[in-house]
């Protein structure tokens, strides 16, 4: 089992990366905006910077170009 480690804001450097791999299922398309938001929230809370992160706000906009 992987352990989750936190990084303080001062420990995050330009060029640091984090990633998640998930499989998008057919039913996920029905709630796609929230699915994408959930991935961002999960990434911030578990990978970069990690546990203890206070995730204050997120805005997602979808539309035709």
Query: How does pLDDT run across 7-54, given as a tens digit for each residue?
Result: 888 888 999 888 878 787 877 766 667 777 888 888 888 888 877 888
**CB 50, CB 7: distance < 8 Å:** yes
Here the tokens at position 10 are 């001062």
Q: Quote the pLDDT of residue 58.
A: 82
Q: Quote the pLDDT of residue 27.
A: 78
Confidence band for 65, pLDDT divided at 50, 70 and 90: low
The residue that leads in pLDDT, 63 or 18, is: 18
**CB 47, CB 5: distance < 8 Å:** no
The model's pTM is: 0.50
Q: Quote the pLDDT of residue 15.
A: 92
d(CA 34, CA 37): 5
Nearest to residue 33, comparing CAs of 2, 58, 6? 58
């Amino acid at each position: 089992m992987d352990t989750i480690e936190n990084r303080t804001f001062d420990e995050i450097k330009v060029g640091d990366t984090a990633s998640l791999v998930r499989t998008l299922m057919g039913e996920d398309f029905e709630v796609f905006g929230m699915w994408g938001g959930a991935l961002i929230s999960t990434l911030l809370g578990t990978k970069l910077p990690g546990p203890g992160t206070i995730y204050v706000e997120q805005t997602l906009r979808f539309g035709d170009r």
